[in-house]
Amino acid sequence: MSTSQDERPVPQPVRARAMGTHLDRQDGVAKVTGAATYAVEHPATDVLHAWLVTSTTARGRVASIDAGHALAHPGVEQVLDHTSAPDLADTEDRELAVLADDRIGFRGQIVAIVIATTSEAAREGAALVGVTEEAEAHEVVFDEHSSTYAPEEVNAGAETDTVDGDPDAGLSAAPVLVDRTYTTPFEHNNPMEPHATTAHWDGRLLTLHDSTQAVHAVRATLAPVLGLEPEQVRVTAPYVGGGFGSKGLPHAPQVAAALAALAVPGRTVRLAVTRQQMFALTGYRSATRSRVRLGATTDGVLLALRHDAVSQTSRIKEFAEQTATAARMMYAAPARATTHRVAELDVPVPSWMRAPGEMPGMYAHEVAMDELAVETGVDPVELRVRNEPELDPETGNPFNDRRLVDCLRRGAELFSWEQRPSAPQARLEGEWWVGTGVASATYPMLWMPDNTARVRALDGGRLEVAIGAVDIGTGARTVLLQIAADALDVPTDRVDLLLGDTDQPFATVAGGSAGTSSWGTAIAAAAERFRAEHGDEPAPGAASTATSGQYADTEGHSLHSFGAVFAEAHVHRFTGEVRVERLLGVYSVGRVLNPTTARSQLLGGLVMGLSAGLFEEGWRDPRSGHVVTQDLATYHVAANADVRDLRAEWLDETDHLSTPMGSRGIGEIGIVGTAAAVANATWHATGRRVRSLPLTPDHFL
519 counts as binding ligand MOS under rule CB under 6 A: no
Q: Quote the least distance from Cβ 616 to ligand MOS, whole Å.
A: 15
In the bound state with ligand MOS, the residue whose beta carbon lies nearer, of 352 and 530, is: 352
Query: Nearest 5°: CA angle at 28, between 284 and 491?
Result: 115
447 counts as binding ligand MOS under rule CB under 6 A: no
Q: Quote the least distance from Cβ 593 to ligand MOS, whole Å.
A: 18
Comparing every residue's Cβ against ligand MOS, the nearest one is 245
353 counts as binding ligand MOS under rule CB under 6 A: yes
In the bound state with ligand MOS, the residue whose beta carbon lies nearer, of 124 and 193, is: 193
- Nearest C-alpha neighbor of 288 from the set 305, 302, 272, 308: 308
Residue 584 in contact with residue 566, Cβ under 8 Å?
A: yes
Instruction: Using the rule CB under 6 A, give the single segment among 91-99, 294-302, 348-356, 405-413 that binds ligand MOS.
Output: 348-356
In the bound state with ligand MOS, the residue whose beta carbon lies nearer, of 248 and 694, is: 248
CA distance 127 to 129: 6
In the bound state with ligand MOS, the residue whose beta carbon lies nearer, of 50 and 671, is: 671
CA distance 593 to 270: 37
Q: Quote the least distance from Cβ 245 to ligand MOS, whole Å.
A: 3
CA distance 217 to 232: 14
Residue 73 in contact with residue 116, Cβ under 8 Å?
A: yes
Helices (H) and strands (E) in the chain, counts: 14, 27
Residue 508 in contact with residue 665, Cβ under 8 Å?
A: no
In the bound state with ligand MOS, the residue whose beta carbon lies nearer, of 345 and 353, is: 353
Alpha helix (H) residue ranges in 404-551: 404-414, 476-488, 515-534
Q: Quote the least distance from Cβ 140 to ligand MOS, whole Å.
A: 24
In the bound state with ligand MOS, the residue whose beta carbon lies nearer, of 167 and 673, is: 673
Q: Quote the least distance from Cβ 247 to ligand MOS, whole Å.
A: 8
Residue 362 in contact with residue 439, Cβ under 8 Å?
A: yes
Q: Which residues contact 133 (CB under 8 A, 6 or more apart)?
A: 55, 56, 57, 60, 61, 62, 63, 104, 111
Site track for ligand MOS across 207-246, x = CB under 6 A: ------x-------------------------------x-
Give the number of other Cβ atoms within 10 Å of residue 362's Cβ.
32
Considering only residues 248 to 267 of the shown chain, the ones binding ligand MOS according to CB under 6 A are: 248
**Dihedral sign for Cα atoms in the order 678, 680, 684, 689:** positive
Q: Quote the least distance from Cβ 457 to ligand MOS, whole Å.
A: 34
Number of residues that bind ligand MOS (CB under 6 A): 9
CA distance 249 to 503: 19
Q: Quote the least distance from Cβ 354 to ligand MOS, whole Å.
A: 5
In the bound state with ligand MOS, the residue whose beta carbon lies nearer, of 213 and 236, is: 213
Q: Quote the least distance from Cβ 243 to ligand MOS, whole Å.
A: 6
In the bound state with ligand MOS, the residue whose beta carbon lies nearer, of 125 and 605, is: 605
Binding ligand MOS by CB under 6 A: which of 354, 386, 599, 664?
Answer: 354
In the bound state with ligand MOS, the residue whose beta carbon lies nearer, of 473 and 538, is: 473
Q: Kindly compute the dihedral angle of the four CA atoms of residues 681, 682, 686, 687, in this order, to the nearest 10 degrees.
A: -70
Instruction: Using the rule CB under 6 A, give the single segment among 64-72, 87-95, 349-357, 605-613 that binds ligand MOS.
Output: 349-357
CA atoms within 13 A on the CB side of 82: 21
Q: What secondary structure letter does DSSP report for 590?
A: B
Considering only residues 640 to 679 of the shown chain, the ones binding ligand MOS according to CB under 6 A are: none
Site track for ligand MOS across 493-512, x = CB under 6 A: ------------------xx
Q: Looking at the DSSP assignment, which residues form a beta bridge with residue 543?
A: 456
In the bound state with ligand MOS, the residue whose beta carbon lies nearer, of 473 and 512, is: 512
356 counts as binding ligand MOS under rule CB under 6 A: yes
In the bound state with ligand MOS, the residue whose beta carbon lies nearer, of 360 and 512, is: 512
Instruction: Using the rule CB under 6 A, give the single segment among 128-136, 176-184, 350-358, 369-377 that binds ligand MOS.
Output: 350-358
406-418 burial by CB neighbour count: b if 16+ within 10 A, else e? Answer: bbbbbbbeebebe
Q: Quote the least distance from Cβ 446 to ligand MOS, whole Å.
A: 9
For residue 694, say if its preceding peptide bond is cis, omega within 30 degrees of 0. yes
Q: Which residues contact 16 (CB under 8 A, 6 or more apart)?
A: 486, 591, 661, 662
DSSP-based three-state secondary structure for 556: coil
Q: Looking at the DSSP assignment, which residues form a beta bridge with residue 501?
A: 236
Instruction: Using the rule CB under 6 A, give the single segment among 203-211, 352-360, 377-385, 389-397 that binds ligand MOS.
Output: 352-360
In the bound state with ligand MOS, the residue whose beta carbon lies nearer, of 189 and 544, is: 189
Q: Which residues have a catalytic role annotated?
A: 668
Report CA-CA distances (Å) from 206 to 227, 262, 518, 657.
11, 8, 28, 41
Q: Quote the least distance from Cβ 252 to ligand MOS, whole Å.
A: 18
444 counts as binding ligand MOS under rule CB under 6 A: no
Considering only residues 65 to 104 of the shown chain, the ones binding ligand MOS according to CB under 6 A are: none
Q: Quote the least distance from Cβ 188 to ligand MOS, whole Å.
A: 13
Instruction: Using the rule CB under 6 A, give the single segment among 19-27, 91-99, 353-361, 384-392 that binds ligand MOS.
Output: 353-361
- Nearest C-alpha neighbor of 497 from the set 482, 514, 515: 482
CA distance 672 to 359: 5
CA 540 to chain centre: 40
Instruction: Using the rule CB under 6 A, give the single segment among 57-65, 133-141, 274-282, 347-355 that binds ligand MOS.
Output: 347-355
Q: E strand or H helix at 112, and its extent?
A: strand 110-116
111-136 burial by CB neighbour count: b if 16+ within 10 A, else e? Answer: bbbbbbeebebbbbbbebbebebeee
Q: Quote the least distance from Cβ 352 to ligand MOS, whole Å.
A: 4
Please give the residue ranges that form the binding site for ligand MOS (CB under 6 A).
213, 245, 248, 352-354, 356, 511-512
